[in-house]
Amino acid sequence: MNDNTLSTTKELTLVGLLTALVAVATMMITVPVPATEGFIHVGDAVIFFAAVFFGRKKGALAAGIGSGLADLLLGYTVWILPTLIVKSIMGYIVGSFAEKSDHRPLSLMTVIGLVLGVLWMVGGYLVAGSIIKGSFAVGLTGVPWDMVQGFGGIALYIPVAVAMGKTRFFQQGKMV
């Protein structure tokens, strides 16, 4: 087995694990939002962790596939495609900004990426909700809940990021 195969296998395994973490975190604690027929969850915190610490590509894959899988398993099938698109791009945005700061978990660039990622998610779900529900007004009802979820995800990400950023694994640049 050559190094490229091992690297590819390690990267595929890592993306699979991050995807599973996103799906489980999304499904584990859900707060139903009757107005939107959706729910608030803590999966965004895991998406932020994946994107910041492992980069835009792995973050995008874990975010989109993991969140879409959670929608499938929870019965929100109409949301799978919008979630795949919105969350993948959110992970890519966050990871892109984190890469500009060498994956420092709370640098200014990373924080800007986190905020822009949340704003993208809110806007993406506004458009998707308006299309799915057939009404912009109904789509707007989800905005405050998506803001709570997104910025709540940042709040949950921060202590995890601080703790993980202090570990030898992440300090020595041994990330896959």
Q: What is the pTM of this model?
A: 0.91
Backbone phi, then psi, for 134, in 5-degree steps? 75, 20
Give residue 3's pLDDT.
46
Class level of CATH domain 3-171: mainly alpha
Summarize pLDDT for 124-139 with one digit per residue, the tens. Answer: 999 999 999 999 999 9
Backbone phi, then psi, for 52, in 5-degree steps? -70, -50
Give residue 33's pLDDT.
84
Spans of the chain, pLDDT less than 70? 1-6, 171-176
Give residue 175's pLDDT.
55
| 13: CB partners within 8 A, 6+ apart | none
DSSP annotation string for 119-163: HHHHHHHHHHHHHHHT-HHHHHTTHHHHHHHHHHHHHHHHHHHHH
**Residues 47, 83 contacting (CB under 8 angstroms):** no
| 10: CB partners within 8 A, 6+ apart | 176
